[in-house]
Structure 1
């Protein structure tokens, strides 16, 4: 159906906000807001704190090189998101695009992977925000208490989910403030650390950066490079939430995709500067001591800025994790909304709040599932919670690579019309998807080893991270089959793969937004 208005248009009656096909508020946010959501979901401060020590342990001073190499497939997949969004502005992103290009079964699994990724990681983000809140306030006892951390984390999940329900505009205002806080803190930290290194005022053990630090070819051990790339999948993940907001963004056809592309570039600059600063100021030896400890940034920041100012970086990590707790709900909730509207999920998840114009049912469902998963898993073992994060890389690599392949296949008849199409719509997404597919398989092999598990446990002889990741994918297959047999799919599973219409590719007409919706006048 064409865009509609909630309020009457009779004379003297003010018009309500415009909504799109799924009932979401059109033009609620702009390009900058979408960019901020992409950055916030990635949680740059927390991501760096969580993995920089592990990267240094893996490749030493070549840590910046690994972050640079990890950026390449991410940017290539961001190009796929950009071009798919240009022809199909659907908040379900991978779900809708893979359905069009590869068929409903592939599309359903892509959407499932997005939803599961959110459920797996939201609790961990809230857990970090909770612990850092206590540390910032000086409550070391509470920070070391699992009960206290878990309780506050559950409160954070509830509050952030409520904000997502309340409206996208207040969410955007909150995120704009939070991203400025964390990025400013990281830039100041990196700048001061590098200044002290080059000026000679850094402590003993510091090292002046070299260009070789940025070269992946300087890493002699191929296995170490691959391991670093697997870590990179986690540290860059999340930028695509900008595209999940395409139906709520002004000029979403181009603005959302550009926001996703630019967010990956900003993340690259931020990650490289902080990684170089940490390695140069602290040295490989000190950084290696924090392989499984996200306190590395706060510890090094204390040496760089002093005890008092160093707490600014602690605050940045807190804000980063808290912001991502909220924004990570968005891709999962918008994807489940799109799936429900297409008949691929129960209609309950397709409900939009009549006042707030947000997918309140799916948002609340994702928040509840994340809280339950976190509460149960964390009560079993904190290490088990870490194993779920290891499994996250499988989900992310799966739906990212699916998007890249879908882009190439959907545009296949347009690729040779220009060199630009061939390079940016064909070659780049194909390379990105192929590399991520390889990393997916490599992750399976690595995580199959029980020794790679934080708990050291195994099931059926396989490591728990692999069991969790593959288990959720198989669970998705089971749900998909059950919905196909017993659900009211409204013909969703009868769809056939297609290719982009030439006029849609050229921007002359729009494709229908929802994969389950009939074509309309002016669309194909």
Structure 2
């Protein structure tokens, strides 16, 4: 679908798409992943993270085929709808929406935690709400401005991660990293395996949301060329950073002190340079760029998903309007923000399953992502069979092995996450069921939306 037809402007360059790809995810290098150490230990979590990295690499190479073949603001929703009809579109769209609406509150809380390190009087939740208001406004102003900002903060965030590694490297000790590295034990045993599986959601957090570039496809100048470059360069950048951050943080000292907090990098640096070092203050301030990059980028993602679902009648048409001046889906941006702010203040979730609020929000977001990954790979296989003649500017390499491994990895993740997070999964299913009820009641609305989209306007 052409950007002009949808009301969205095709203005994004390859570098801006790369900035979105990296920026969407890079907060995962700053926080969230260290919760995996609590259950798997450093070495066990490394094994889990490498498996997840392989799953994401094969997924992105496969997903790029879908994105370039069907450049649509709905991303996975559009692929599953084309492959499996309206019900498939609903499931993929709802899963993606849950992923992209629940990830920002976790990142906003981390922004609040980082600011609280510098200014203890600031309530992290109030800072999180402030972040929502600021970056929703920036997204409404225009996608070109938003994407340029995203590119700048992504580059600054990468620079800061490299600074972190350089500053802590003199104090790095392999002995620190491996001590108790197998779920608290110094040697691998069968007892280490459950913790490695339980850590899967936090390994996924290293890479979660990179697929959001697909939702900017209608706003790319040349999606068939630029999206493959952005995706592949983005996943390679993120894998390298994830490995580096994990190794240097774990080797800085007692890693158990970093395994259940929202700001592991400043705390790891504190072990090396002390609590009053200028390096620490710099990390806190520049570290915000990584969180801001992901937070801001995911707002781009969730707003386009809400916009696309509304445009085709899967959500109320009210959210399918673009701003008359800025040509951005302003109503969708605000709607996702309202849900995210509500999640920040959902204190009843803090003890659900015995995990922190942030950990539970991360897990909920990951459930949405994994379901979407499964549906996307199934869509790829289905469309290869039923639409062999579809133009595919980029074809998944080593087909069918790459998409098959990505599908296998996603299924393993889903099964183990259900086992270890039954309560959160029950809530996830409840959200899907409520959405499906709305889906069943609005069939006529979707038919009207489809009719309006296909009948030409009278001059």
Alignment TM-score, normalising by the size of structure 1: 0.76
Aligned in 2, Cα 1:67/1:519: closer, same or farther, shift over 3 Å?
farther
Quick check: 1:48–1:271 contact (8 Å CA) kept in 2? no
**Deviation at 1:236?**
1.0
How far the C-alpha of 1:96 sits from its partner, in A, is 0.4
Inter-CA distance 131–428: structure 2 relative to 1 (3 Å threshold) = same
The equivalent residue for 1:369 is: 339
Q: Deviations over 1:79-119 (max 9, x none)?
A: 23210112111011100000111111011121112122222
CA distance in 2, matches of 1:397, 1:467: 15
Distance 1:355 1:338 in 2: 19
SS at match of 1:315: helix
Matched, 1:167 2:142: yes
Q: How far apart, in 2, do the equivalents of 1:440 and 1:314 lie?
A: 34
Aligned-pair CA distance for 1:260: 2.0
Give the counterpart of 1:301 among 254, 263, 269: 269
Which string of whole-angstrom CA distances, capped at 9 and with x for unpartnered residues, describes residues 23-73 of structure 1?
1111x12111111111111134x5443222533651433543332221111
Answer whether contact 2:22 2:154 (CA < 8 A) is retained: yes
Question: Aligned ranges for residues 193-232 of structure 1 at < 5 Å?
Answer: 193-197=168-172, 206=176, 221-232=192-203
Q: 1:421 to 1:261 in 2, by over 3 A?
A: closer
Q: How far, CA to CA, are the matches of 2:447 and 2:249 in structure 1?
A: 52
CA contact (8 A) 2:109 2:124 kept: yes
Once the 2 structures are TM-superposed, how far is the Cα of residue 153 of structure 1 from its aligned partner? 1.6
Cα contact 2:110–2:263 (8 A) shared by 1: no
Of 69-78 and 219-228, more deviation after overlay is shown by: 219-228
Matched residue, 2:18: 35
Pair 1:345 & 2:345 matched: no
2:367 is the alignment partner of 1:408: no
1:177 aligns with 2:159: no
Q: Which gives a bigger RCO, structure 1 or 2 (Cα 8 Å, sep 6+)? A: 2
Q: Name the structure 1 match of 2:103.
A: 121
Report how far residue 447 of structure 1 moved.
1.0
Which residue matches 1:22? 6
Provide the C-alpha distance between the structure 2 equivalents of 1:53 and 1:336, rounded to a whole number of angstroms.
Answer: 30
Taking the aligned partners of 1:64 and 1:328, their CA distance within structure 2 comes to: 26
Are the aligned partners of 2:68 and 2:227 in contact in 1 as well (CA < 8 Å)?
Answer: no
Distance of 2:403 and 2:429 partners within structure 1:
25
Alignment of 1:56-75 (within 5 A): 57-75=39-57
Structure 2 counterparts to residues 437-452 of structure 1, below 5 A: 437-448=411-422
**Structure with the larger helix share:** 2
The aligned residue for residue 84 of structure 2 is 102
Q: Return the alpha-carbon distance in structure 2 between the equivalents of residues 192 and 232 of structure 1.
A: 24
Do residues 141 (structure 1) and 115 (structure 2) align?
A: no
In structure 1, list runs of 5 or more residues that go unmatched: 4-18, 143-147, 213-217, 449-462, 495-515
Q: Deviations over 1:407-445 (max 9, x none)?
A: 111112649xxxx96854432112212321232122112
Tell me which moved more, 187-196 or 262-271.
187-196
Find the aligned partners of 1:478 and 1:219 in 2 and give their Cα distance. 46
Specify every segment of 5 or more residues in structure 2 that has no aligned partner in the other structure, as ranges: 183-187
**Are residues 1:325 and 2:299 paired?**
no
8 Å CA contact 2:77–2:90 kept in 1: the answer is yes
Cα offset, 1:363, TM superposition:
1.4
**CA distance change for structure 1 residues 392 and 323 in 2, over 3 Å: closer, same or farther?**
same
Measured at CA, do residues 169 and 378 of structure 1 come closer, stay the same or move farther in structure 2, by a change above 3 Å? farther
Per the alignment, residue 457 of structure 1 pairs with none
Q: d(CA) in 1 for partners of 2:235 and 2:111?
A: 23
SS across alignment from 2:248: helix
Please report how far the alpha carbon of residue 74 of structure 1 lies from its aligned counterpart in structure 2 after TM superposition.
1.0
Q: Is the 8 A contact 1:53 1:296 kept in 2?
A: no
Preserved CA contact (<8 Å) 1:129 1:317? no
**In 1, distance between residues paired with 2:455 and 2:158?**
43
Matching residue of 1:8: none
Whose Rg is larger? 1
SS of corresponding position for 1:51: coil
> In the aligned structure 1, how far is the partner of 2:125 from the partner of 2:267?
24
**Offset at 1:219?**
7.7
Cα displacement string for residues 297-341 of structure 1 (whole angstroms, at most 9, x for unaligned residues): 112212445521122322243222223222111222112222222
Q: Distance in 1 between matches of 2:91 and 2:148?
A: 33
- Which residue does the alignment assign to 1:391? 364
- The two structures have a TM-score, normalised by structure 2, of 0.86
Kindly indicate whether the alpha-carbon contact (under 8 Å) linking 2:65 and 2:395 is maintained by their aligned counterparts in 1.
no
| Residue equivalent to 2:185 | none
Contact map agreement 2:30 2:290 (CA 8 A) in 1? no
2-structure distance, mates of 1:35, 1:422: 19
Report the aligned-residue RMSD: 3.0
Cα distance in 1 between the residues matched to 2:150 and 2:6:
24
TM-aligned CA deviation for residue 234 of structure 1: 2.4
- Match for residue 451 of structure 1? none
